[in-house]
Structure 1
């Protein structure tokens, strides 16, 4: 274990206080921060993602924030590639990386490894598949998936559009079914990092209050205007991964498809609140699943974590 490089993973559901905790650790010196958040990668999506402000980022720089446009796709495998390079660079500078965020799929991919034999996203192939869906309907695209990869056809529903696109993309690029390539991925390989896993898991009632407060602030400081500006700047639609982020999906639907009355706005805000609570619930489930396989230290409160982490890594 002595030759393994230390990596601190700081996980937790949305609004649990992870970022504030990571920033406090950063102030002790000797650390660099890597964002583990599938929404913070997008430029111009600031309010709805609770992105650290420009001032906060200047004081507490985060890697992997604002790296792509809302029209682009960023996969878990791309995250692992980028994070691994950053981790090595940070260690080369004599510092310890702190990975902080709530995208548990990214943490799982880093902790357990991904199918390295899968190709990266190919935008031309994806566009071709989406064009086929527009012309012939999703039923025809799904039927084709069932023909080339029957196992994927069993696993995915016709509504799982992103998964269907990815499976067909992999087949077109490799000539092999994605399920076959995933099954061939070696498991439990020796890893060069020594992960220290910490999770903030507040009481649900307390977390729900924090989520509600965060959303209230977001609406007040102009989240709806942010989405309007995104619509002006980019050709957005609800199937883009960026627009599947909680809050953005509901706001986009409201701006595109409603009469924009006060009643409809209130309804949209309630939907966004419900979706954020559901996200937190899924994050708790992911965390428990990860805890079954990996060593974790969990905290109910930020102050509890601050004291312990100061002693462990100070």
Structure 2
């Protein structure tokens, strides 16, 4: 590692020997650590660092910023900072540093890819289940309710018969963090839940509280729901893979496109923060532009 100040190079070499002989990391990991640390050390030298004791959180943030400017992906930057944290942990261990300056610096969070929602026609195609078999009735009721109320997979599996009121058209669910909320459902969701309740006794074991049960008579499992939905997607010739999350995402998208009421959709989904709803529900730009053109008073002045 020529060209580096001896004071920096000496500690790096001691660290490489440590991860080789004491931690016995794989050759791949050792090479990766060396590559990442070489890059960052060279950057610090350019910035004027000659001793490891000079490096504080501000210097580490500069390295992170440079990585972002250089076009590093969030995952690659996270790996780079992880190598630096490990190195500084070692310097603390051998008393070269009093504290790890990289401890509180993290890479930007990786953007979560949004699942593609189903459009309304695809939802109609999926839910066009008219079989008399109790399992088919159960599956349609479950999918109608998940799409009709925007429920999470764990929420719909956890619903008990006593949680649902057909007369009021609402149900009580326990969401993330054991937070309880009451959500409305109507139309086809209400109609098919009523149909399911009429035949549920053919499958449910005595005393079983769960609204949706398997053919074994006990509460349906999340895995079973995922499997059945994927099978219905294929049976109904829907082009994309069907999952419980995709139904919830479709509910959110369709509700937001129709109402434009982000706060109401946040409440219905049970999101603690509005920012989660903004990420989770997306509107295409054309729809937003159309709403703007039709609604904003300054956008309609052209035609007189």
TM-score by length of 1: 0.20
Higher relative contact order (CA 8 A, sep 6+): 1
Structure with higher Rg: it is 2
Structure with more of its chain in strand, by fraction = 1
